[in-house]
Amino acid sequence: MASGTALIYDGEMMSHKLLWEDTECDIEVPERLSASYEQLRQYNLVERCVRVPVREATVDEITLVHSQEYLEVIKSTQSMNEDELRNTSMNYDCVFLHPNSYRCAKLAAGGTLQLVDSVMSGKVLNGMALVRPPGHHSQRNLANGFCLFNNVAIAAEYAKKKYNLQRILIVDWDIHHGQGIQYIFEEDPSVLYFSWHLYQHQEFWPKLRESDFDAVGKGDGTGFNINVPWNKVGMENADYIAAFLHVLLPIAFEFNPELILISSGYDSAIGDPEGKMCATPECYAHLTHFLMQLANGKCCVVLEGGYHMRSLSESVCMTVKTLLGDPVPQLHGEMVPCFSAVETIQNVRAAHKPYWKCLAFSGSSIVQAANTRRQGSGEAATPAKTNSEVAIETDIFLQSHMKSFLFPAPPVIAAAVVSENNTLLLPKCMLVHEDTVPAKEAQAHLSFHKELMEDEIDTYLLTKTLSLLNTILQKQVRSGISECLSASAAAVVALKHCIRFGLNRVLHIMFGDVGGIHLNEEGKIISIRISENQPSQTANSKYEISLNWKEDLQTDDNFVYTLLSLILPLAYSFQPELTVITFGPESKITISSIALLTKLMQGLGEGGILALIQDTELKYLKTVAEALLGVNTPAIAPNSAAAEVVIQAVEEQRHNLQTEWKMLRCSVD
Ligand code: Q9C
Ligand code: ZN
């Protein structure tokens, strides 16, 4: 598998700038690029990336999307004087032109193509292109919304043609609707376009009827255009995560893209004068992390909007850090989507129900969003604040907020405890730290749990497991794997140890027969069990969730559905500090399901995961280790669909649990 992260940046793209006064356009400034790049340098991220030079996109490449006539118009602006530039700009909505605009627009598109080539050739795994002018509003014959050439649309057509791709996913998290991308691909089923955007019942620019949730694509492309129109400002992290969990990700896994292009506008982030939303920079780490699980990690992030310099550059850094594989920080804020966001999500799911199997059984129908509704936290706090007040407030907030992420990440990504004859099962790069804690200390912990130990043989490995757990709790190691002679005993000991250490929230996911685990720790542990056999007491409660699946149901399709609909929303609601994954005897889940689970759970608790693997289940050892290390993991098998019985069981759980765990909610009724 490819590795490494490309960074595309060239200061020449700063020469495109506004030469006259225009209060609608004056936010798209050259400093957007330099501020982002400077912040990347400050965090030492530039040196960790592979530098890829920009180039000009060729005429043939630009005309993959734009008309020859339009290209000629933009080309002709190179030799115009200021009056002529101004007059030409006025032919379009929210556009400014400069004698070097044509050159910069060719570099922005060409830089994006350089990124696509770097990723598709395997030179790097993923990357980001810091480019301007942005692209997603521009259309076949039209400049619009600061955009001259549609960088991402050109990249998609180029990738289709050059690499013969059948399925490309474009995710547009800019706060404006990329109507240009929608128009270009609305009849094309090979490009799935997802855009969320502020809509406000068609009052937010570009104020188009076709930005609503019912624009689902046309002709062969029907179902391949997904609009998530936000009707209120002030959306928060929980709202964005909910849109990913309940709309984008289920459809994206079903679509199974070969390449992901992100129209990465950060005007959807806190402090932005256009978007007026409240997502904090680490939200983009989570969004990026989710998308990295698709298309074998082939992810090209391309800058679009983003007009608050600090918010923009911190968010760019979070995105690049995540592409590089750094641990994903914990999300700021309450994990409760607002009423208006859930309403939007319900409508999008209802609109797309006919086209995607993952939505086929979702019960809800379209609700006519009443613009007078006042519930939820999606209101603007005080509309009286001026843009510059909000900008300054955001600067102050981010200055202290970003400090909470400065702690050094654990120096060791993953450590393992395995018996000597099984070390060969581990990937080469796996570090084995067996004695980071004195045996005596571990013995002392164990003495509290004598009654739980099923036999004496366990003591040796259990001691080592606790040593390993301690290194994780002390943040010397991010995650760990332990072979166990009794996974049940190891799980009880580990969970109790976590609580004694002082953790308040631990998520326990169990596969197979894991007996006797009913820890009453006052809501500090959520346990989710997936097994063939009914455990002795099945008391489903808000802390104990059980899914009883026969072996034939333990397929990727069923698991992906359960992961996105139930496990991840629960986990994001709970915000565990550590996740324990226990593989008991008769774990029947597929290897690729486990790879995906292990990778997605790394989005929580800063990647803190302890995997406990019964010695009969060592088939999972290598995959879990590789997923923790971020290498080489098997992809989910092509989708058919989740079984109706599984969907029904999951929906029943969702119904029972969503009053407590609010991220489960995807409909308002
Ligand atoms: N009063 C991008 O973010 N603003 N373009 C219109 C009307 C135009 C945004 C304001 C915003 C264009 C790439
Ligand atoms: Zn925008």
444 vs 232 pLDDT, higher one: 232
Cα 158 from Cα 135, distance rounded (Å) = 15
| 416 and 398 assigned to the same domain | no
> Is 260 in a helix, a strand, or coil?
strand
Give the active site residue among 66, 136, 137, 177.
137
Cα 478 from Cα 574, distance rounded (Å) = 20
| 471 and 397 assigned to the same domain | no
Give the residue from 360, 378, 403 where a domain finishes: 403
Counting residues of the chain whose pLDDT is more than 70, the rounded percentage is 91
| 423 and 367 assigned to the same domain | no
Predicted confidence (pLDDT) at residue 436 exceeds the cutoff of 70: no
533 vs 132 pLDDT, higher one: 132
Lowest mean pLDDT among 404-408, 516-520, 574-578: 516-520
| 538 and 636 assigned to the same domain | yes
Question: From atom 2 of ligand 1, which residue's Cα is the shortest distance away?
Answer: 305
Total domains in the fold of the chain? 2
Pairing between β-strand 50-52 and β-strand 5-9 as defined by DSSP bridges: parallel
Predicted confidence (pLDDT) at residue 129 exceeds the cutoff of 70: yes
| 329 and 187 assigned to the same domain | yes
Alpha-carbon distances of 164 from 148, 161, 295, 532, rounded to whole Å: 26, 5, 15, 42
- CATH code: domain of residue 443: 3.40.800.20
Q: For residue 381, what pLDDT is reported?
A: 52
| 38 and 76 assigned to the same domain | yes
What are 526's strand-pairing partners? 507
Residue range 57-73: mean pLDDT, rounded? 98
Query: Ligand 1 centre and the CA of 90: distance in Å?
Result: 15
- Contact predicate 627/633, CB 8 Å: yes
Q: For residue 369, what pLDDT is reported?
A: 66
| 221 and 99 assigned to the same domain | yes
Q: For residue 669, what pLDDT is reported?
A: 77
Is 137 in the active site?
yes
Question: From atom 12 of ligand 1, which residue's Cα is the shortest distance away?
Answer: 145
Residue range 562-590: mean pLDDT, rounded? 96
| 323 and 420 assigned to the same domain | no
For residue 217, being part of any structural domain is answered with yes
- Place 571 in a pLDDT band, splitting at 50, 70 and 90: very high
For residue 301, being part of any structural domain is answered with yes
Give the residue from 371, 403, 435 where a domain finishes: 403
- Contact predicate 319/285, CB 8 Å: yes
Nearest to 464 by CA among 487, 438, 486, 500: 438
- Place 321 in a pLDDT band, splitting at 50, 70 and 90: very high
Cα 100 from Cα 15, distance rounded (Å) = 6
Longest dimension (CA), the chain: 88
Question: From atom 5 of ligand 1, which residue's Cα is the shortest distance away?
Answer: 145
Considering every ligand atom shown, identify the ligand nearest to the alpha carbon of residue 177 and give its number: 2
What are 506's strand-pairing partners? 525, 578
Local structure of residue 279 (DSSP, 8 states): B
Cα 315 from Cα 311, distance rounded (Å) = 6
Residue range 373-391: mean pLDDT, rounded? 66
Looking at the CA of residue 136, tell me the nearest atom of ligand 1.
Answer: 13
Predicted confidence (pLDDT) at residue 363 exceeds the cutoff of 80: no
Query: Ligand 1 centre and the CA of 240: distance in Å?
Result: 21
Structural domain range at position 51: 5-403
Q: For residue 235, what pLDDT is reported?
A: 98
**Please, what is the average pLDDT of the chain?**
91
Tens-digit pLDDT profile for residues 528-569: 999 988 765 556 789 999 998 888 888 999 999 999 999 999
- Place 372 in a pLDDT band, splitting at 50, 70 and 90: very low
Contact partners, residue 400, CB within 8 Å, separation at least 6: none
| 440 and 580 assigned to the same domain | yes
What the block records as the tokens of 448 is 């509290």
Alpha-carbon distances of 302 from 108, 110, 115, 128, 268, rounded to whole Å: 9, 12, 9, 6, 15
Of 29, 95, 146, the residue with max ligand 1 atoms within 8 A of its CB, to mutate for a pocket test, comes to: 146
Of 22, 23, 24, the residue with max ligand 1 atoms within 8 A of its CB, to mutate for a pocket test, comes to: 24
Q: For residue 66, what pLDDT is reported?
A: 98
Question: From atom 13 of ligand 1, which residue's Cα is the shortest distance away?
Answer: 305
In sign, the C-alpha dihedral spanning 317, 320, 326, 327 is positive
Cα 191 from Cα 257, distance rounded (Å) = 9
For residue 162, being part of any structural domain is answered with yes
Give the residue from 342, 375, 403 where a domain finishes: 403
Query: Interior CA angle at 237 toward 287 and 338, to 5°?
Result: 130
Query: Ligand 2 centre and the CA of 266: distance in Å?
Result: 7
Residue range 413-430: mean pLDDT, rounded? 75
Cα 424 from Cα 603, distance rounded (Å) = 28
Query: Ligand 2 centre and the CA of 654: distance in Å?
Result: 34
